[in-house]
A and B are shown apart, each in its own frame.
Chain A
């Protein structure tokens, strides 16, 4: 069965420092993996997706994620945090059939 674990419910970083949001998944097959972002009181926006092409995936707003099959991880990173990155981030896995399994979310807090 598929599952997604986001290892941190909250991450706090200073503006200008790197961001790391951790995600581990379990899947029986070759999954597709996504990161979605939700800004306060807004809808969900796709940040990036992995669908068995390059293992390092670049997304919008300077974010990227690396698929590591051996570690069953799909961590989200950004070299330098900006105040506008403050939001909740969801790691999502899908094997097929459009069923998305959502992580619990990680709230990213940016300190000035």
Chain B
């Protein structure tokens, strides 16, 4: 199994641009999570899905952030418009039903200038 796949691994963009982060969970996992990691705030859960349905998006910082999961093998996290304070590492993780362990992707390092 290739594990959780995230793309791109690095993204540099200018303030105001739209950013789309992508995630492919482990096949068969029913849960998908998006996290953000910064030095100041540590690791924060943004949103998670169960069977492609968003369950809890209370961690999404503001309306500029949106996440979708159109099918069981793909999810996106979009930031529009991006701001310098969005600079962080964004992790996607997946987990299987009945198993609490989450498996993390390598992360996307986002820098907004």
Contact = CB atoms under 8 A, between A and B. Distances in A.
Interface of A: 32, 34, 36, 42-46, 49, 51, 90, 94, 98-100, 102, 104-105
Nearest to A96: B100
B95 interface: yes
A62 B18 CA distance: 44
Interface of B: 31, 33, 42-43, 45, 48, 50, 56, 91, 93, 95, 100-107
A59 B105 CA distance: 20
What is the interface of chain A mostly: helix, strand, loop, or mixed?
A: strand
For the complex, would chain B's binding face be called helix, strand, loop or mixed by DSSP majority?
A: strand
A104 B42 contact: yes
Given A44-B104, A99-B45, 14 more contacts: A32-B100, A34-B101, A43-B91, A43-B105, A43-B107, A44-B91, A45-B104, A46-B101, A46-B103, A98-B33, A98-B50, A100-B102, A102-B43, A104-B42
